[in-house]
Amino acid sequence: MTFHRDRPDDRDTYLDQWVKAALDAELAQMDAAFDFPAGLQDVYARAGLAGPVAVESSSDLTPGAGGHSAIQAVVDHIEMLDALLGVVTTSEKDTSPQQGVMYLRMARQFLLQLRIGLTARRLPQARAIQLVDTIAHNLTETDRILRAQQGMSLQDAVHARIGELRDVGGDLNHQAQRLREKVWRLFTDVDEPASRSPIPTS
């Protein structure tokens, strides 16, 4: 489907994307600033229940022996992806339609939030995966808009800008998928991966 700003339905879809993205960003910031273990202890105390048995959890990124390097690997991936997207968002207008650029800018904001949250070790797993999925969605939307309006894919736009300067190593969707896998592993490989069950996003 092609985006037409003059069609009411498309305008609403577009607006919804913007508002939802901002509200999700606000939640991510609130999550990153909140001490969840202390909050949970407080909830149990208010309920008059004994505090739950504390265990090392896949939902937290607590500093560990291999934790820092694993986080750094994800941060490196985020920075690589962000640099590639930055190439397109700073290109001339004729190769970057405004709607596509807006999706890209949102994707970059989410990448930044992800990096901040992971670096601060305060981002819950559910929110981290949600951020990665939103980034992937925004890249898909950008690709769709570019194809419809410019007859070129997002990958083509990146290559047009950087040429052979750099081997991207797979298309951007693939890179987003790899990022998701890395983030997922970050939470599930802390220890005893077999005992970890995914935390669904709600």
Partner 1 sequence: MTSQSGVRVGGVDFEAFYRANRSALVRFVRLAGATEEEANDAAQTAFARLLQVSYHIREPMGWLCRTALNDFRRSNPRVPSRRRKVIERPIPPWEIPEPAASVPSAADVAALGEQTRGVLTELALLPGKQRQVMVAHYDGLSHEQIAELLGMGTDAVRQNLSRARKTLRKRHVMLDEDAS
Residue numbers at the binding site for partner 1 (CB under 8 A): 11-12, 15-16, 18-23, 25-27, 29-34, 36-37, 39-49, 51-57, 59-60, 62, 98, 105-106, 109, 112-113, 115-117, 119-120, 122, 124-127, 197, 199-202
Kindly state the smallest distance separating residue 159's Cβ from partner 1, in Å: 25
Q: Do 77 and 120 touch, CB atoms closer than 8 A?
A: no
Pick from 85, 99, 128, 88: which is nearest to 13 by CA? 99
Tell me how long the chain is: 202
Kindly state the smallest distance separating residue 175's Cβ from partner 1, in Å: 20
55 or 65: CB nearest partner 1: 55
168 or 199: CB nearest partner 1: 199
41 or 153: CB nearest partner 1: 41
2 or 98: CB nearest partner 1: 98
Kindly state the smallest distance separating residue 29's Cβ from partner 1, in Å: 5
